[in-house]
Amino acid sequence: MDVHRLRFIDLKPKAITSLAFDSSLDFPRLAVSRSDASIEIWRYIGTHKDFCYCHTIPGREGISIESLKWSGDRLFSADLSGTINEWRVNSLLPVQSVVSKGSTPIWSMDINSDGSSLVVGCENGEVCLYDLSYDALIYSRTLVKQDGRILSLSWHPTAPRIAMGCADSTLRVLDTETNRSILRITMDKNSNEENTLVWSVKFLSDDTIVSGSSLGSISFWNSKYGTLKQSFSLHNADLLTIAVNSEEDILFAAGVDHKIVRLKRVEKRGKGEAGGYFWVQACDVRPHTHDVRSLAVSRNGVLSSGGVDTVLCFNKVEEFEKEMSLRQSPFASWNERFQLAPRGNILLFCDNRSLKLWKITPQSVSTDHSSSTVCSPDKDALAKSGLITHKEMESDLFKASGLPILLLEIKSPSAQHIVCSGISDDGKLVAFSDPEKIWVYSLEPKVTCISTQFLPSRAVAIFSNNNSINSNTSIAICPSDGGIKIASVPSPVTKDSVIFTDMEIRKKKMSIRSYIKLKYSPDGKYLLAMSEKYRVLIFDTINGTLFATLPRFDNTFPPSLSFTASSESLLIFTSGDREFYKFNLKKSELKGLGRPFLKDIAMRVCSRKGLSMTLGLNTFPTLHGLCMIYDWDRLLFVRYEAKGKHKEDKEEEEVIGKKRSLGMKELSSHCVKDYRDIVYAGVLDCGEMVLVEKPWRDRVTALPPTLKIDKYGQ
């Protein structure tokens, strides 16, 4: 089978600006903010140091998020526009927003241990308190104003005191009950007498303040007397971030020199020194190539780091110096930005504020073989594994194709980022939405905006195309307030002819749910909807009924879903426990594959250290019983259905002269590792694959220069 490898699409991953773990012990969530103000939600899988991407809260143009904090299940963000947002994590929408006094940029934020109060540090030196009681976000009061901007904040774990790192070379402590400044420490300055910037502070439960500054040093202070207990000059440039584990005996520091240093607390054993301790440098690693802007440690002992190089890294705290970091691709969330029109041979790419449509030329109509963009995987290996038959190997799918063509680019008029987008199977209709509006475009006979409507922001919009069962082209969207809305598109298409109405479900009382994913079956008869808690529902669009409600496979991670080409079955692959299911739509029967087969898949998916996060699941229209599970560095071809069931396979067996059993031994899988940095994979109706890649050597050219460090022998 041919593979269109697309590497020329301009994909620009964004730098990580802030990281925050919630307080969960078993399955902690990680919030990751990037330089485009988007917030990614990751979740712990439960083994080793593996995290799986869940979804993304879209950002807004011109916003820079400087701090993220959790309070139970509530997520808060503070940015340089002076806005504090509380986010509804699953529905991707803000619950409430508060603007700081005078819209002053906010540089730092922290929440006290019981989650009742939030404090922010502003550009003008103000420290503002907000009340979080009763699910509110209400301004309480402003503490004593400082001279310079507040770069960092840390609340004492048990006492009503706040440590502040300022831009005027000072470290201060405020008492929130008396509203008085009880301590002021002046930091050293560099040789040029420039102010020292205190980028990070941590208040420990034993009243020790840990600070990291632009001098590259980490210092331990006695918060009662303001004396220096210990200091380490560990970095060649600014120390930007500090993180400490829940036991407060291991501390991490990182900064501009992309080095992460681990410090460990050691008990004093000298005579008459019982109960004392001191800190020592344990080790350091360099998992990043550029500035490390944020560190975070979960309660179950996982260190997360991120910065300018856009890569998210995970390390076990206890095995920090022994194991290599688990690096997650910066494009883990970009898989949702691509969608393929299999019949129209068009690839849709959704950027933050624009849509790009690429025309893929199949081999059957291509005449340009000199500039091929197609390469074939190892056919012999696929044939030997039994996934591709000899008849399929000799087909025309192994010829080359012409270069893709950029058809058009549609730019969003809004400053807000696009939440979701969709394209019809024939590529004639395109729709996209931001948190306020939805736009619908017709691409034939010319590009025309046929609908612009003010609808509450929703998670997903998707299309169904003309087919033999459902002759109407329809658009389904998920409003933010719950439910599903559907619009029928007439032919010929006219302006303002698309009207969304609530989908009516007959003979069934249903509570309104918020959905995060919609998907039509190839024949348009079924509509799949996934709720915020990853419950999968299937609707019959012809009869207007709820056809089936599938059991909750894994309420921690969204499963990968794909209809078969015949619309007879739905395939489900779960990322957390790596289970594989097939739901027969005709019989309404859910069946899991055999344990030996699942073990084989698990071994292939987890053959390297750390879990391979599943990006997607695809089926092949021309190859019955074959599907593909892919992640960022491998393709796993799975024969989920025994051969001989379809007419084409029976004819092939007669030609080959072999009789195959229809038992579980026919099920097999084959892993292809010829590709790396995979962003998206799809399949055209002709059976050819479309693979979007972004190698590291192409990404690094867009990054800013890194700090020059002298190396031995150079």
Residue for token pair 């087969």: 597
pLDDT score for 274: 52
Q: pTM for the complete prediction?
A: 0.86
Q: Look at 632 and 368; give whichever has higher pLDDT.
A: 632
- Residue-wise pLDDT for 342-362, tens only, equals 988 999 999 999 999 999 988
- Residue-wise pLDDT for 88-128, tens only, equals 887 677 889 999 887 899 999 999 999 999 999 999 999 99
- Residue-wise pLDDT for 412-462, tens only, equals 888 889 988 999 888 888 999 888 888 999 888 788 888 888 886 666 667
Could you tell me the pLDDT band of residue 81, with boundaries at 50, 70 and 90? very high
- Residue-wise pLDDT for 551-607, tens only, equals 887 666 788 899 998 888 999 888 767 778 899 998 888 888 755 555 556 555 544
536 forms beta bridges with 530
How many whole angstroms separate alpha carbon 530 and alpha carbon 541?
16
Find the length of the chain: 714
How many whole angstroms separate alpha carbon 489 and alpha carbon 498?
6
Is 2:399 a contact under the CB 8 Å cutoff?
A: yes
Q: In what order do the strands lie in the sheet with 51-57?
A: 16-21, 29-34, 39-44, 51-57
Q: Look at 701 and 365; give whichever has higher pLDDT.
A: 701
pLDDT at 644 over 60: no
Query: Residue range 185-190: average pLDDT?
Result: 88
How many whole angstroms separate alpha carbon 198 and alpha carbon 240?
8
pLDDT score for 435: 83
pLDDT score for 52: 81
What rounded mean pLDDT belongs to the chain? 82
Could you tell me the pLDDT band of residue 302, with boundaries at 50, 70 and 90? very high
Could you tell me the pLDDT band of residue 386, with boundaries at 50, 70 and 90? very low
pLDDT score for 712: 59
pLDDT score for 574: 80
pLDDT at 160 over 60: yes
Could you tell me the pLDDT band of residue 657, with boundaries at 50, 70 and 90? very low
pLDDT score for 399: 39
pLDDT score for 385: 45
What is the share, in percent, of the chain residues with pLDDT greater than 70?
81
pLDDT at 372 over 50: no
Query: Residue range 682-706: average pLDDT?
Result: 87
Residue for token pair 């396979």: 649
Helix segments in 146-264, DSSP class H: none
pLDDT at 509 over 60: no
How many whole angstroms separate alpha carbon 670 and alpha carbon 637?
5
Could you tell me the pLDDT band of residue 535, with boundaries at 50, 70 and 90? confident
pLDDT score for 272: 52
**Where do the domains of the chain lie, and which CATH numbers do they carry?**
15-328 (2.130.10.10), 338-360+404-550 (2.130.10.10), 368-402+553-693 (no CATH)
The closest alpha carbon to 1, from 661, 690, 703, 599, belongs to 690
pLDDT at 651 over 70: no
The closest alpha carbon to 597, from 580, 620, 616, 611, belongs to 580
pLDDT at 392 over 80: no
pLDDT score for 648: 45
pLDDT at 281 over 60: yes
Strands (E), 541-609: 545-549, 560-563, 569-573, 580-584, 589-592
